[in-house]
Every structure is written in C-alpha cells, then in structure tokens.
Amino acid sequence: MDDIQELFSLFPEIKEHILVTKKIGQGTFSYVYLGEFYQNKEEKVALKYIIPTSSPSRTKQEIDCLLNIGGRDNVIGVLSVLRNKSHVLIIMPYVDHESFHGSFIYWTIDEVKEYIKGLLIALNRVHQCGIIHRDVKPSNFLYDSKKKIYALVDFGLAQTYDSSSENIFTYEKLNKNRSNHQSENTPDKKNLISISSKKSTGQLILTTPKTQNTQNKSDISSLPNVPNKDCKTQMSISQSFDRNLNEQLIKPTSTIINVKNFDSPKPSTPNLQKFHSFSKPGFTFSDNKCNCFNMPFVCEICTARPNKWAARAGTAGFRAPEVLFRSNHQTPAVDVWSAGIVLLSILSGRYPFFKAVDDYMAIMQLTSLFGGESIRKSSIKYGESFLCSFDKQPDDLKEICKSLRRNSVQTIKSKASNETEREANSNIIVDFPDGAYDLLKKLLELDYEKRISAENALKHQFFET
C-alpha cells in the first residue's frame, strides 16, 4: 500500500491531527511515511505502516521492543501504535537523516567516532535489555548530522536473549519470566502508555503520557519515554499477535544438506561412509561421512540427521560467522559483528563492503579477508566442517582498509568538476588513527566468545583520543 489516502481510510484518526506528506522508506515488510502535526508543523513524525502479510509475531516483537526499550540511548521511541484489523501503524519521532552511502566518506574522524559510539550506545542499551537486534546496518541506524541525533530503528527481526542459558527465546517466555517479577517492578502508572480499543472498528490505540508535549523535540533521548527504566517492566500489545512465535527460526532448505552438525546420528550403513561433500566455486563443506550428495538420492544417514535449525535473520553482508554457520550459540555478539562491518565500510571507503547473495558467498568473502585457516577453525567452533580448496592467507585489516579507502578517495577526487567540489574533497580523510583499526579487529573477532561487547567497545581508546 503506497497511497496516503488509503492510509487515511485505514486510520481516519490520524487525518485529524497529522498531515502525511510523502513516503520516505520502503522495506520488505513496511512503508514509512513522513508526517507533521497540524498544530505544530515543526513536530515531524515517521509513520511505519506494516504490511498485513508480515507475521503477527514479527509485528508484536517490533512493537514490544520499541515500547520496552525505545526512547532513550539512541533507540527510537514510539509515540503511538494504531491497529485496524491486520493493519498496523507505528508512529515514531521523525529523524531527518541522510543516506549513509552518500555521506560517510566525507565524515571527519570526530564524526566517525561519534557515529560508531552512537551505534554502540544503542546496542549496549538493546543488549542490556536482553534483546538482539539482528539487523544492524546503516539503513536501520539513522543519523541526523545537523542535530546530532542517532536512532536505531527496525526491530522487526529482534529476538530476546537469555544470557544464563545462551538461548534465544520468544517473547512469550520472556513475558512469563517478567510477570514473575512484576510485583518488584510494578511500573509507575503515570508513565504507562494507555491502551484503548475501539470495539466498533477493532482498532487498538496506544497513547503515550501527556508529558510528551512538553519534551524537547530535537532530542530523541527525551522524547516520550517507555515506562520502564530498568528494562524489567513489560507491556503486552494484543493477544492477537501471540500466534506462531517461533517463526523467526527459519528451517534451512534442502540445500543445507551439505552443512551438517557434528552430533548428528552415526552412520549405520558402512558402504555409504565415504565422503559427503558439496562444492561451490572455491570451497567445500564436508563431513567426511558419506557421498550421498554426489548420488541422485539422499541416503538414510543424511535423511536421519536432524535438520540444523538456527536463527539466520538479517542481511547477508552483515551476518556474523556464527549466523552464517548456523550455530545455535547466537548472542548479542551478532550485532557487534554487524557494527564492525559498518566500521569496516567507513575505514575502507567501500559500501557495501560485502555484497553477498547468499550465505555461501558470504562465507567465501569472509575467507578472502580472514584467510582459509581462520574460517576453517571458526567453522569447527560453530559445529561445521569447512574445507577451503585454495590456501588463502589472511589480509591485514588495517592495510586493506587503508589501500581501499585511498582508492575510493582518489576516485571521488578525480570526479570533482568545480573548485567548490575540489575544495570539499581535499578534506576527505584517508588514514584513521590506529585505535580505529584496533577497534575494528575487536568488533570483527570471528569467535563470538572473544568478540568485544558493546559495553566494552565504548571504553575503547579510539573514543578517548
């Protein structure tokens, strides 16, 4: 649905208060519109219309996340949520951001520091609240360079995380756990977002506290806040979203036969215990057990093996190795990896840095940067066996970034057509302080257990100098 009139017909109440001016974003699951209040044109909002075909669980998760943790520490807040049958509209403060692609190369070192720090602050907030965002990338981290506002958006793929069991689980379980603590953490009623439903239309309306109008509109952290200050309080949106909460765990398709986990059943048919392998140009997965992949059928051994289930939501070029190898040990470190890929783009002047069409290509691209041996070790850590048919030595991250960035900057400079452009381009940074490359290495640590946390990354020397 891209028609503003249709939006008004679904949600007539917004017409009275908000002038919707244009569409500003379109993703797989949503359309985002810009609006401004009639009474105060300076107060702009983003209206995210979630397409009715997206799963109710996804929609519920997104709203739950925004209500629970948004509105501070660079995580976008929510002003109101409207529902009309299967149509949902999330109204958020508008962040007047520019495209990362067209601007990051011109940022100063201080701007890069502030941007990465802003992202880590948001991730620290998300992780401290037991949530993994799972889709960290520039288009989900908005930056208003004039007002210095940063906002992590798009919690459609977010999952909750239990550090004690290192398991990702659903909101349902989290809600149960939280309700056990409810008496200790009863939210302050004044701050609660009120929920009212219109029986006639089936609409569900959430309204933030009245105090919102007195807040400073240019500061995301002071915009209408969520009720909880300690991440413990919990609000449920609607029973109707509670269906099928496990949908995030995507079952691999049949091609995943080549990627087997180690604790699969032992082969029982001796003549099939030869070699099970699958090749994509340049590399091979193998479990050295049978050769059924080369036959026109799939052997009993392989069909008896459990399919490997692992969360793999996100965007290919930003997926951490543990996601690519479909490990069950997926933690907030997956977001830290993605933040590392963002920094890699900045330091190398290349965006996107990895442009993978699927996970195999993404693994191959990681191999070309980190070397075959490191990726092989990493695959074992994540319960897979990865054989690289060529001996790729690791690149030096710092050197590769410097040389790529130098090339990018030269290309931009050569395209300058007038004096003003030449002047602007003369200030483009080529080399960053050593601390930037050191932080990059720590964010892009292949082993998720050794990877730096968002909290510790914020203490890195890169941000001190």
For residues 227 and 217, give the distance between their C-alpha atoms in angstroms, rounded to a whole number: 18
The two three-digit tokens of residue 81, written as one number: 């949520």
In the complex with Mg ion, the residue whose CB is nearer, 33 or 283, is: 33
List the single partner that 156 binds among Mg ion, ligand ADP, none, CB under 5 to 8 Å by kind. Answer: ligand ADP
Identify which of 462, 450, 429, 443 has the alpha carbon closest to the alpha carbon of residue 344. Answer: 443
Q: Does 48 bind ligand ADP (CB under 6 A)?
A: yes
Q: How many CB atoms neighbour CB 269 within 10 A?
A: 11
Phi first, then psi, for residue 461 (nearest 5°) are -60, -25
Give min distance, CB of 42 to ligand ADP, in A. 15
Give min distance, CB of 25 to Mg ion, in A. 8
Give min distance, CB of 78 to Mg ion, in A. 16
Residues between 193 and 222 with contacts to ligand ADP, criterion CB under 6 A: none
The two three-digit tokens of residue 373, written as one number: 């041996």
Residues between 78 and 137 with contacts to ligand ADP, criterion CB under 6 A: 92, 94-95
For residues 362 and 345, give the distance between their C-alpha atoms in angstroms, rounded to a whole number: 15
Q: Tell me which of 55, 86, 128, 139 binds ligand ADP, using CB under 6 A.
A: 139
In the complex with Mg ion, the residue whose CB is nearer, 140 or 233, is: 140
Marked catalytic residue, from 2, 73, 110, 135 = 135
Give min distance, CB of 51 to ligand ADP, in A. 9
Q: Tell me which of 14, 18, 29, 320 binds ligand ADP, using CB under 6 A.
A: 29
In the complex with Mg ion, the residue whose CB is nearer, 91 or 452, is: 91
Residue nearest Mg ion by beta-carbon distance:
154
Residues linked to residue 162 through DSSP beta bridges, in sequence order: 167
Q: Does 156 bind ligand ADP (CB under 6 A)?
A: yes
Q: Tell me which residue has tokens 């543990």.
A: 322
Q: Tell me which of 7, 14, 18, 46 binds ligand ADP, using CB under 6 A.
A: 46
3-state secondary structure of 422: helix
List the single partner that 94 binds among ligand ADP, Mg ion, none, CB under 5 to 8 Å by kind. Answer: ligand ADP
Give min distance, CB of 33 to ligand ADP, in A. 9
Phi first, then psi, for residue 47 (nearest 5°) are -110, 110
DSSP character for 452? P
For residues 327 and 181, give the distance between their C-alpha atoms in angstroms, rounded to a whole number: 31
Q: Tell me which residue has tokens 């977002």.
A: 193
For residues 36 and 46, give the distance between their C-alpha atoms in angstroms, rounded to a whole number: 9
Q: Which residues lie closer than 8 Å to 276 by C-beta, 6 or more apart? A: 258, 260, 286, 287, 288, 289, 290, 291, 292, 293, 302
Give min distance, CB of 449 to ligand ADP, in A. 30
For residues 391 and 398, give the distance between their C-alpha atoms in angstroms, rounded to a whole number: 21
Residues between 106 and 165 with contacts to Mg ion, criterion CB under 5 A: 140, 154
Query: What are the start-end ranges of the E strands in 153-193?
Result: 159-162, 167-169
Q: Does 149 bind ligand ADP (CB under 6 A)?
A: no
The two three-digit tokens of residue 91, written as one number: 């109204």
In the complex with ligand ADP, the residue whose CB is nearer, 133 or 276, is: 133
Q: Does 153 bind ligand ADP (CB under 6 A)?
A: yes
Identify which of 75, 63, 23, 343 has the alpha carbon closest to the alpha carbon of residue 223. Answer: 75
Give min distance, CB of 428 to ligand ADP, in A. 25
Contact string 406-435 vs ligand ADP (x = CB under 6 A) = ------------------------------
Tell whether 48 is in a known binding site: yes
Residues between 52 and 81 with contacts to ligand ADP, criterion CB under 6 A: 76
Q: With CB under 5 A as the contact rule, which of the stretches 25-33, 97-105, 197-205, 212-220 interacts with Mg ion?
A: 25-33
169, amino acid identity: F
In the complex with ligand ADP, the residue whose CB is nearer, 220 or 440, is: 220
List the single partner that 252 binds among Mg ion, ligand ADP, none, CB under 5 to 8 Å by kind. Answer: none
From the CA atom positions of the chain, what is the Rg in Å?
24
The two three-digit tokens of residue 78, written as one number: 């929510």
Q: Is-contact 120 451, C-beta < 8 A?
A: no
Q: Which residues lie closer than 8 Å to 429 by C-beta, 6 or more apart? A: 107, 108, 109, 112
Tell me how far apart the terminal alpha carbons of the chain are, to the nearest angstrom: 48
Q: With CB under 6 A as the contact rule, which of the stretches 151-159, 309-317, 407-415, 429-437 interacts with ligand ADP?
A: 151-159
List the single partner that 95 binds among Mg ion, ligand ADP, none, CB under 5 to 8 Å by kind. Answer: ligand ADP
- Concerning whether 2 is annotated as a catalytic residue, the answer is no
Annotated binding site: 48
Judged by the rule CB under 5 A, the positions of this chain that interact with Mg ion are 27, 140, 154
Question: Using CB under 6 A as the criterion, which residues of the chain lie in contact with ligand ADP when the complex forms?
Answer: 24-25, 27-30, 32, 46, 48, 76, 92, 94-95, 139-140, 142, 153-154, 156
Q: Which residues belong to the active site?
A: 135
